[in-house]
Structure formats: C-alpha cells, structure tokens
Structure 1
Amino acid sequence: MPPHHPVPPGASPAGRRAAVLGSPVAHSLSPVLHRAAYAELGLTDWTYERFEVDESGLAAFLRGTDARWAGFSLTMPLKRAVIPLLDEVSPTAAAIEAVNTVLLSGGGRRTGENTDVPGMIAALRERGVERVEHAAVLGAGATASSALAALAEICSGEVTTYVRSAHRAREMRGWGERLGVPVRVADWAEAAGALSAPLVIATTPAGSTDALVAAVPARPGTLFDVLYDPWPTPLAAAWSRSGGRVVAGLDLLVHQAVLQVELMTGHSPAPLAAMREAGEAALHARTA
C-alpha cells in the first residue's frame, strides 16, 4: 500500500477524527482496537467513533466531513457501495470490489484501500501458514473476495469456492480471473467436501457452517473462521478438538486494524499486542 500522510504540510487540524461506518455497526470492535492504539501511541488528540450509516446515507455522510477527519473503517453493507464515491481506489480493492478503509487527505481527496487482504495474510503467517497447495472458501461476499486476493499470494493451486447462487458463482469466477487465481465453484450443498482442504476459509454469517461440524475430518488442516462473536463457532470448536489449526476472526480484525491505524495516523508500527489485548478483553466482557 502507498504511504499515506493524513495532514498535508502546513496543516495541523486539532482533534483528529476517525470512525467505523456500517449498518448494523453497534457490535463493531473497531473503536476498542483503534482507541487502544491511540493510547499506546500517545495520540491524545485522536478520537475514534462508530456511526450507523447505510448505503443511502453514505454520500451525505462523506460530504459532511472536514479537515479533522483522517479516515474511516467500513463494514457491511458499505464496502462496495463506497467505490463510486471515491477519487482513487487501490488496485487490490478495485479488483475485488471491496473497500474497507477510506483515507481522507487535507484537500478532501478520498482514497479507498483494502486492509482485509494483507490482514488475512498476516494472520495466517502468525499461525505458521505461509503457503498452501490448494484451498477452499466458504461463502461469496466481500470477505470471500478478500480471501481470494489473499490466496492469490499464498496458494499455488486451485481454490474451490462454495456458494448458494449462480450470481455469486459468476462473481467468484470473475474475481478469480482478475486476481489470477484458478477458481472452481461448487454448490453450497457440497460444502462438507471443503473440509478436507489444507486451508479452509469460512466467510459466512453466524450459524451458516454449524451443519458442517459432523464432517470435520479426523486430521484437519487449517481453518480460518472470520467470525469473532460468538467465539468459538461450533465449526472452530470441532476443528480444534480434532487437532486442527484454527485462525480466529479476531486475528483478522486486529491485523487489518493495525494497518488501518498506520495508514490513518502515519505511525508505524501500530501496537499489535495492545490492540489484541483490548479486543480480547472486550470480547470476554461481552460473554461474561
């Protein structure tokens, strides 16, 4: 990703702002992670908030920003809807039609980035997954497209994606072609067959993979389940019981947030350990 300088030379707006936008957004842990980073970095004049914004209200919200704003984290349903509202989109975000980070320059220029992709790669590497021969992706939304982009970097062979509709199948094939990833599309009814892959990335909503628990193999490979609340998912729990390696949704959330903090504030490296600790504490408080 290109370096980002949120405040142009000669401009120092007091009280820098950032936020997460989406709908629903009340559940987001992004404020916890970003605020922990600001505290660790000594950025006492920075604030990070959350705003309930849907597709119909996004353009007006962005028009209302001023020079104090450094950027936004985006959750669903805004990752694709924001693209026409941007001045520039990074090649990866454009290829997969998913922007999860908007950077604002002092002149009001809006740049779209995707930190989910490098965040996935970093989370996998942290768990010892550097390279796989083939992989499976469960689901076909914005996170699934990010998974394909991550697999373009670490998977040497075919990626099988399991989807529920012909429309989603076409999208996954299209993303694969743009990314140079050989994609085979299978019907969701065959999803149990995905679990024998050396790397399985589950990108579906809570409850969607519960029926696959009985199909977890005796010697599973690595499961990357992008959910983090509730955690563990039934599939992740069964995977661990069988001795498989599990990468959690919180791992992705923290690693992509680290990159967002670095891009928005210009401070690098962001404090990964402090952000993870804050995220774990917040999740524990929710379930206590």
Structure 2
Amino acid sequence: MTNERYPVVPEGFNDSEPPRGIGSQRLAVLGDPVGHSRSPQLQLAAYRALGRRWEYSRWRIPAGQLAAALDARSQGWRGFSVTAPLKAEALAFASEVSADARRSGAVNTLVFDSLEPGAPARGENTDIPGIVRAFGERGLERIEGVAHVLGAGETAASVAIAAQRLGASRIEVYARRPERAEALAERLGDGVTGRTLADWVLGDDTAFVGDTVPGGYVLANDIGPVPAGAALLSAAYHPWPTPLAERWQDASAPVVTGLDMLLHQAVLQVRLFGGDTIDEPLPNEAEVVEAMRAALS
C-alpha cells in the first residue's frame, strides 16, 4: 500500500533526472545499469522507520557522465548512493573525501552541504566499514591468516582494505588481467601482492576469500578444499548461491553474503544522509536495521 507521507519509488529507473515527488528531501542511487538495485527498498524502509518524509529513486547515469549530470541537477537533492561504474567519477566529483574513499579510489556515497543545486559534495566509502560490520554480525571479528581477493576493481579495493582492518596477515589480489591486480596491490601497499586469477588456488593458510567477480567467480579449475574456518564474502547476490558460496555451504564454512554487505553499508549511508557522522548511530538503530533487513526479504 502506498502511504502519501512516505513516497515509494516506482519500479524501473530513469535515464534522466528523476522528477521531484512529494518528499521533503531527495536521494537516489546512481549507476549503469541501476534498474536492478535494491537500494530504494533498503533506504525507504529506513526513512519510514525514522519517520522521515524523504524520496529515494534510481537514476541511470552512463560512465563518463556523472559530473555533467550532477552539475545540472535541480533543487532538493540531499545526496546519492553510487554504484558501478561511477565510483571513481564520484571520487573526482566530490569537493572533500574521506581517507577510506581516497585510499580505495572509490566513493559510494555523496552528501551535499545543502539542498541547493550548486552545493558542494562530500564523498565517503561506506563499503569498507559495512563489510567489517557484516563480518561482526556473523561473529567474525578477526581474519587469522591470508586473505584472497578475487577481482581488482573498486569493490575489490574496498574488500582488501576491510580484510586489512580485520587483521589479515597478507592479502593476495587475483584478477584476469594480472597488471590490474599488481596495480591495486601497489596502491594498497606493503603486505599486498597481485596475481593472475587463472592461478588461484586455496592454501592451508587461507583464512578469507573475497569474491568480487561480477556474478560470482566461476570454478574453472580445481581450487582445492575449503580450509577449516575460512570465511567467504561473496559480493554478488543474484543469482544465489554463487558457485563459491555453494562450495562454502557444502563445507559448512562461514559465508558473508552480498546482501549482508549491502545492508550494512546502507545503514552507514542513512547516517550520513541524515547529517550525522559515519560513526554516530541512528535513533533506535536496531529497529531501523531490522526494517531494512525485512525490506530485502
């Protein structure tokens, strides 16, 4: 049922700026493609729980066009969630960025200083602390061993930094193009190496695997058995389970899903969109999180 006090985003998405509805403040997820995004359900559930009369929609912006689109935006935008392929462009667009955003090379959250069209934006990467929160919810407070990150894009950078924060002793980045893995490893610094994805196998010391391959890594060779206690983060969540998630489930090993990551990074976005810091909890945050979780089911 549609409640006029809490605008509900229609299905589908807009190729141009979404029209203004009845909400007092406007938010959207930006990307290409973006029609599949679950962010509107998540965010609107949070604002209903908080009693905020805000709008949240989808806005398709092709690669290379983020700055032009946002510079021409109309009145009322509070901020944006940013997904592929625009996270590096969002980093360049923001007037001020956090240390996490700069180190990862990715901004997934833009927050404007005011609702005026020319207001400057602050850029943040909530994926990194969102991953740490998702692990903590599963009782996984530490990574005791080596972390393998599959992929070398912006999500892979966030996963690698989160793995460092969780205590991984070493991080190995695997990509189809080894030069991309090596470039990411060089940017992240000591204790990170880049390798080719075709050579990836599990080792006895593997404590964590972060699968950021779009759609999930497809098992093309024998990667060996899942080490006891090794955790998997599968960034993809549709279709589910991914091939690696199925392997981990068969081994009764811990799995953190892409929806876990999506939920917890979105909670941090809601904090930021409301004018709080990333570390300042929402009013009745536990209830807000459960409303957002229910919106994903």
Show the counterpart of 1:8. Answer: none
Q: How high is the TM-score relative to the length of structure 1?
A: 0.85
Show the counterpart of 1:149. Answer: 161
Show the counterpart of 2:121. Answer: 110
Range that drifts further, 89-98 or 152-161: 152-161
Show the counterpart of 1:276. Answer: 293
What displacement does 1:32 show? 0.6
| Higher RCO (CA < 8 A, seq sep 6+) | 1
Range that drifts further, 31-40 or 262-271: 262-271
Amino acid at match of 1:61: A
What displacement does 1:65 show? 2.8
CA distance in structure 2 between the partners assigned to 1:260 and 1:135 by the alignment = 27
Show the counterpart of 1:81. Answer: 89
Structure 1 stretches of at least 4 aligned residues deviating more than 4 Å after TM superposition:
none
Amino acid at match of 2:155: T
CA distance in structure 2 between the partners assigned to 1:208 and 1:198 by the alignment = 18
Show the counterpart of 1:260. Answer: 269
How many residues in Structure 1 have an aligned counterpart in Structure 2?
264
Find out whether 1:33 has 2:42 as its counterpart.
yes
Query: CA 1:14–1:135 in 2, change beyond 3 Å: closer, same or farther?
Result: closer
Amino acid at match of 2:290: A
Range that drifts further, 255-264 or 165-174: 165-174
Residue pair 1:71, 1:103 contacting (<8 A) in 2 also = yes
Amino acid at match of 1:189: A
- Which aligned pairs between 1:1-288 and structure 2 lie closer than 5 A? 15-43=24-52, 45-106=53-114, 108-133=119-144, 134-177=146-189, 181-193=190-202, 197-211=206-220, 215-217=224-226, 219=228, 221-266=230-275, 268-269=281-282, 270=285, 271-280=288-297
Amino acid at match of 1:247: V
Identical positions, percent = 39
Q: How high is the TM-score relative to the length of structure 2?
A: 0.83
Residue pair 2:229, 2:253 contacting (<8 A) in 1 also = yes
What displacement does 1:67 show? 4.7
Q: Structure 2: which 5+ runs fail to align?
A: 1-21
Range that drifts further, 221-230 or 250-259: 221-230
Query: CA 1:132–1:207 in 2, change beyond 3 Å: closer, same or farther?
Result: closer
CA distance in structure 1 between the partners assigned to 2:196 and 2:82 by the alignment = 29
Query: CA 1:228–1:209 in 2, change beyond 3 Å: closer, same or farther?
Result: same
CA distance in structure 1 between the partners assigned to 2:252 and 2:129 by the alignment = 27
Amino acid at match of 2:176: R
SS in 1 for 2:213: coil
What displacement does 1:29 show? 0.3
Amino acid at match of 1:101: T
SS in 1 for 2:220: helix
What value does the CA root-mean-square deviation take over the aligned residues?
A: 2.1
